[in-house]
Amino acid sequence: MRAVLGGSGIVLVALGALLCFLNSGGLLEFVKLWKLQRYGVEGEAVSWRQEWISSGHRVFHEIQLPGGVRPVNFIEVGVAPRGPVGDAVPVVYDRRKPKRARTGRLADIELGDEWLGVKLFWVPGLACIAVGTVLYIACS
């Protein structure tokens, strides 16, 4: 009986790790958006190049930072361009890491979809890992 419970613990840990792995990209996107929402500053970016790629567009931007600081470049993938090359667009960037920028306004950042995905995958995944670990340790 102990071997069956120990084996079930191993299976639960593996299942939990799989659930967490399946949504690891969603967690990274959620953390990025959360940091932008918390530390983000609205500014202006000028697109200097646009390309068509298989997942939509790749737009190269240059953020105009205040205070005469050297401009910072960032690339946005998958988002349709907001205008022709050379147009200024609103951007939200993190002063600590300006390459984490995103075009749009600070009020437009929506965490709901990513947060739902994180909760649906990570809560059961971590619970499976915890229960599986306890089962395995108790039966060893």
Give the range among 1-5, 18-22, 131-135 with minimum mean pLDDT.
1-5
Please provide the DSSP assignment of 60-121 as one string.
EEEEE-TTSPPPEEEEEESSPPSSSTT-EEEEEEETTEEEEEEES-GGG---HHHHHHHHHH
136 or 77, greater pLDDT: 136
Q: What's the pTM value of the predicted model, to 2 decimals? A: 0.75
Report the alpha-carbon distance of residue 35 to residue 81 in Å, rounded. 23
pLDDT band, very low/low/confident/very high, at 87 (cuts 50, 70, 90) = confident
Say how many residues make up the chain.
140
Q: What are the tens digits of pLDDT across the range 39-74?
A: 888 888 888 888 888 878 888 888 877 676 677 888
Residue 39's CB: how many other CB atoms inside 10 A? 14
